Amino acid sequence: MTADAVPPRAVRSAPDRLLAVLAAFDHAHPALCLSDISRRAGLSLTTAHRLVGALTEWGALERDAAGTYHVGLRLWEIAALAPRGLALRQLAIPYLEDLYEATHENVALAVRDGSEVVYIEWISGRSAVGVRIQVGARWPLHATGVGLALLAHAEPEFQAEYCAGQLAAFTQHTITDPARLRRALAEVRRTGCAVSSRQVTMDALSVAAPVRGPGGSAVAAVSVVVPQRQAQTPALIPAVRLAALGISRALGWQPEPR
């Protein structure tokens, strides 16, 4: 069995099997043949064929002329109803575009899903640094600017649990020491922004700020990603914080008067 296949006994109920078929698709595998779906979902070919047929008929999957399957538009229609997805993205777009015009660098909007950050919008600068991020991409919270901004404003119990867990490294600069991570989160809370330098790739630096919902909790984060060698962090912070503030106010948050 290959490393990316799921053992058949790990999938039991009918809902589990359906979800396993959908989970077989990811950014590295956006198109799969039936045998690939069977292998990656940990299902027999017969079971995979039956479930794929049902999902295709419903519109969750689409089959092209070559017999390859892709995620269908029906799933996109349902996902668009998620309040932290398309609705938040549409509200945030004007502020993200303003941030892009001010910097002409990569601009991102992300939300937290468990211990990961999920990117829901990405505006790429024409001559900006190349990064390993796209809409729908997931990264551990500690490794990105948006992730640090969200983790710093998460519940204290969750922060403690996250810091006590294994912190994956992507470069020699990725924060993997719990004490260092706690200090970084305290700095984010003190300054209102997160700076992530060479955490995922050696050539990129990001500056991020939390986006607050009506109750004041951090519901998303916005960031700008620039080349490490050209980074002028102090000049980026006000622009990023202004974009986050604009989105927060559009969501209904009113900052307390000082």
Shared-domain flag, residues 57 and 109 = no
Shared-domain flag, residues 70 and 93 = no
**Residue where one domain finishes, among candidates 21, 55, 79:** 79
The answer to whether position 255 is within a domain reads: no
Reduced DSSP (H G I as helix, E B as strand, rest coil) percent helix, strand, coil of the chain, to 5: 45, 20, 35
CA distance 129 to 206: 11
Q: Are the C-beta atoms of residues 228 and 198 closer than 8 Å to each other?
A: yes
The answer to whether position 149 is within a domain reads: yes
Q: Quick one: DSSP state of residue 176?
A: -
Taking residues 174-196, report their average pLDDT: 95
**Residue where one domain finishes, among candidates 61, 79, 97:** 79
**211 exposed, middle or buried (CB, 10 Å; 0-12, 13-18, 19+)?**
buried
The answer to whether position 257 is within a domain reads: no
The answer to whether position 3 is within a domain reads: no
Q: Quick one: DSSP state of residue 81?
A: T
- Name 52's Cβ contacts closer than 8 Å, sequence gap at least 6: 21, 34, 37, 61, 69
- The confidence band for 11, taking pLDDT boundaries of 50, 70 and 90, is very low
Judge if pTM exceeds 0.85: no
Roughly how many angstroms between the first and final C-alpha of the chain, as a whole number? 60
**Residue where one domain finishes, among candidates 21, 48, 79:** 79
Task: Say if residue 81's pLDDT is above 90.
Answer: no
Shared-domain flag, residues 106 and 205 = yes
| Overall domain count for the chain | 2
CATH code of the domain covering residue 155: 3.30.450.40
Task: Say if residue 125's pLDDT is above 90.
Answer: no
CA distance 41 to 43: 5
78-147-227-137 Cα dihedral, nearest 10 degrees: -30
- Residue-number span of the structural domain to which 37 is assigned: 8-79
Shared-domain flag, residues 145 and 215 = yes
Shared-domain flag, residues 13 and 40 = yes
Residue in the structure block whose two tokens are 């777009």: 93
Shared-domain flag, residues 45 and 148 = no
The answer to whether position 48 is within a domain reads: yes
Strand arrangement of the beta sheet that strand 61-63 belongs to: 31-32, 69-71, 61-63
Shared-domain flag, residues 97 and 146 = yes
Top-confidence residue, 1 or 186: 186
Per-residue pLDDT reduced to its tens digit, 52-78: 999 999 999 999 999 999 999 888 778
- The confidence band for 130, taking pLDDT boundaries of 50, 70 and 90, is low
Of the candidates 131, 102, 132, 134, the one whose C-alpha atom is nearest the C-alpha of residue 121 is: 134
∠ Cα 105 248 203 (to 5°):
25
Per-residue pLDDT reduced to its tens digit, 199-241: 988 888 999 999 999 889 999 999 999 888 766 788 899 999 9
